[in-house]
Amino acid sequence: MNNLFFTIPAFIFTIALLVAIHEFGHFWVARKLDVKVLRFSIGFGKPLFRFRGKKDNTEFVIASIPLGGYVKMLDEREGEVAEHERHREFNQKSVYARFAIVFAGPLVNFIFSVFAFWLMFVIGIQGVKPIMGNLDTQSLAWESGLRSGDQIVSVDGKETPTLSAVYEQLLSAFIERRTADIKLSDQRSLYFHLEKLEKEVEPSQLQEIIGLDIKLPVEKVIIGEVSPDSPALSAGIQAGDQIVAIRNQQHELEVHHWRDLVRFVITKPGQDILVDIIRNNNTLTLDLTIGEVKQANKTIGRIGVRPESVTPLPESMFTVQQYGIFSAIPRGIEKTWDLSVLTVTMLGKIIIGEASLKNISGPITIAEVAGHSAQLGFENFLRFLAIVSLSLGVINLLPIPMLDGGHLFFYLVEMVKGSPVSESIQEIGVKIGVMLLVMLMSIALYNDFTRLLN
Which amino acids are annotated catalytic? 23
Domain boundary among 266, 293, 312: 312
Q: 413 burial class (0-12, 13-18, 19+ CB within 10 angstroms)?
A: middle
Q: d(Cα 431, Cα 402) in Å, to the nearest integer?
A: 9
Q: Which domain holds residue 169?
A: 127-211+317-321
Give just the sign of the alpha carbon dihedral 301, 303, 304, 306. Answer: negative
**Domain limit, last residue, from 295, 312, 329:** 312
* 196 and 243 fall within a common domain: no
- Give a yes or no: residue 38 inside a domain: no
Does residue 259 share a domain with residue 181? no
pTM, two decimals, is: 0.81
Domain stop point among 282, 312, 342: 312
Please tell me whether residues 206 and 138 are part of one structural domain. Answer: yes
Residue 389 lies in a domain: no
**Mapped to the 3 state alphabet, what secondary structure does the chain carry?**
CHHHHHHHHHHHHHHHHHHHHHHHHHHHHHHHCCCCEEEEEEEEEEEEEEEECCCCCCEEEEEEEEEEEEEEECCCCCCCCCHHHHHHCHHHCCHHHHHHHHHHHHHHHHHHHHHHHHHHHHHCEEEECCEECCCCCCCHHHHCCCCCCCEEEEECCEECCCHHHHHHHHHHHHHHCCEEEEEECCCCEEEEEHHHCCCCCCHHHHHHHHCCCECCCCCCEEEEEECCCCHHHHHCCCCCCEEEEEECCCCEEECCCHHHHHHHHHCCCCCEEEEEEEECCEEEEEEEECEEEEECCEEEEECCEEECCCCCCCHHHEEEECCCCCCHHHHHHHHHHHHHHHHHHHHHHHHCCCCCHHHCCCHHHHHHHHHHHHHHCHHHHHHHHHHHHHHHHHHHCCCCCCCHHHHHHHHHHHHHHCCCCCHHHHHHHHHHHHHHHHHHHHHHHHHHHHHHHC
Claim to verify: residue 265 and residue 191 sit in the same structural domain: no
d(CA 185, CA 197): 27
Q: Is residue 201 part of a domain?
A: yes
- Contact call for residues 74 and 127 (beta carbons, < 8 A): no
Half-sphere exposure of 74 (CA within 13 A, CB side): 22
Contact 155, 173 (CB under 8 A): yes
Compute CA distances 70 → 24, 51, 300, 404, whole Å.
9, 16, 43, 11
Successive 10-residue mean pLDDT values, the chain, 454 residues: 65 85 94 92 87 88 84 82 84 92 95 95 90 82 90 92 89 86 93 80 73 83 91 92 88 83 86 92 92 74 88 84 92 92 82 67 63 74 89 89 89 90 82 78 68 56
CATH number at residue 145: 2.30.42.10
Same domain assignment for residues 141 and 178 = yes
Total number of domains constituting the chain: 2
10 Å CB burial of residue 131 (0-12, 13-18, 19+) is middle
Identify whether 268 is part of a domain: yes
Same domain for 254 and 204, yes or no, is no
If asked whether residues 297 and 235 sit together in one domain, one would say yes
194 plus 245 within the same structural domain: no
Judgement on whether residues 258 and 199 belong to the same structural domain of the protein: no
Cβ(212)–Cβ(166) under 8 Å?
Answer: yes
How far apart are alpha carbons 438 and 400 in whole angstroms?
Answer: 12
Is the residue at 199 inside a domain? Answer: yes
As a whole number of angstroms, the distance between CA 211 and CA 86 comes to 64
Q: Are residues 192 and 235 both part of a single domain?
A: no
What is the C-alpha R_g of the chain? 27
* CB-based contacts of 173, cutoff 8 Å, min separation 6: 155, 156, 179, 180, 192, 194
Q: For residues 357 and 234, give the distance between their C-alpha atoms in angstroms, rounded to a whole number.
A: 39
